[in-house]
Structure 1
Amino acid sequence: MARKLPYSTGDIFAVPLRDHGYALGVVARADGKGIVLGYFFGPRAESIEGLPEVRSFDIDSAIKVCRCGDLGLIRENWPLIGRVESWDPGQWNVPDFCRDGDIRVVYDGDSLEVSREERLDPRECRRLPQDGLEGAGFVELKLTRLLAV
């Protein structure tokens, strides 16, 4: 049985960056057992109050999409700050990921478990997000680097 979580799909949260400021995240999927598919957005804001009151997003402008642990959300280090307007999970796809440079990994949209793997041309694979399960701290470090000023 899935545990009662303090967040749900469609929630918007703030991710503290390691040097200063915050990025935005959206819970696109959650398996109920500690794994979240997150979409992450810039630009960097210096404070939570400085984050834009975004209620709708262009998912193509995400600077990072990944499967990650939900510890930042559970411990409230990634505070919830709102919800996506008219949340529709169908508009927040679970992308294919790339593993080992030439393997496309396809995840089930409900369980976030691997549903299929297949060889892919390495050039095409490099265009996909990297596969893996990232910890909250790693996500913070990666976003800090991506939003370096």
Structure 2
Amino acid sequence: MTRKLPYSPGDIFAVPLRDHGYALGVVARADGKGIVLGYFFGPRVESLEGLPQVRALEANSAIKICRCGDLGLIREKWPVVGRVESWDPAQWNVPEFCRNGDTRVVYDGDSLAISREERLDSRECRLLPQDGLEGTGFVEIKLTRLLGA
């Protein structure tokens, strides 16, 4: 029996930062088995109380894009706080990622499974998001660092 997930592509969620406040994220894709492609945004939001309408986020404004586990969403530690207005997955693509400094990794847009890997010049590879599957805590720490105090 498949259980209903408490999130879906297009949902906006809040990620608690390790010092104070929150970053916002968007579920761009989900494989239904625990992996989410998330787009993450600043600036830091101090409180979810009276959070303004957050539906106007745009993919090209993300400060971080990664594949991550959905435990924060499942346990509602990363609460869903809204939905992208006029959700269109084509506007929130699955980017190519860089692995080990010289390998381009391309994921399938539906299953988030690897569709191909190929060697890439290291200078080009550095321009891509880092490949890997990040845990909830790692994402929180990374966003805390990116958004500073």
Length-normalised TM-score, structure 1: 0.96
1:52 positional shift: 3.9
Q: How many residues align?
A: 149
Report the CA distance between 1:6 and its aligned residue. Answer: 0.7
Q: What letter is aligned with 2:73?
A: L
Q: Where in structure 1 are there 5+ consecutive unaligned residues?
A: none
Does the Cα contact within 8 Å between 1:40 and 1:65 map onto a contact in 2?
yes
Distance change >3 Å, CA 107–CA 48, structure 1 → 2 = same
Deviations 1:119-140 (A, max 9, x none): 0010000000000000011000
- TM-score, scaled to structure 2: 0.96
Structure 1 residue 12, shift from structure 2 partner: 0.3
User: Once superposed, what is the RMSD of the aligned Cα atoms?
Assistant: 1.2
Q: Runs ≥4 in structure 1, deviation > 4 angstroms?
A: none
**What is the aligned-residue identity percentage?**
83
Q: Which SS does the other structure have where 2:8 is aligned?
A: coil
1:47-106, Cα deviation, whole Å (9 max, x unpaired): 112644221222111000000000000000000101000101111000000000000000
The 10-residue stretch of structure 1 (35-44 or 53-62) with the greater mean CA deviation from structure 2: 53-62
Residues 12, 26 of structure 1: 8 Å contact kept = yes
Q: Which residue of 2 aligns with 1:96?
A: 96
Task: Report the 3-state secondary structure (helix = DSSP H, G, I; strand = E; otherwise coil) of the residue aligned with 1:115.
Answer: strand
Residue of structure 2 equivalent to 1:131: 131
* Unaligned ranges ≥5, structure 2: none
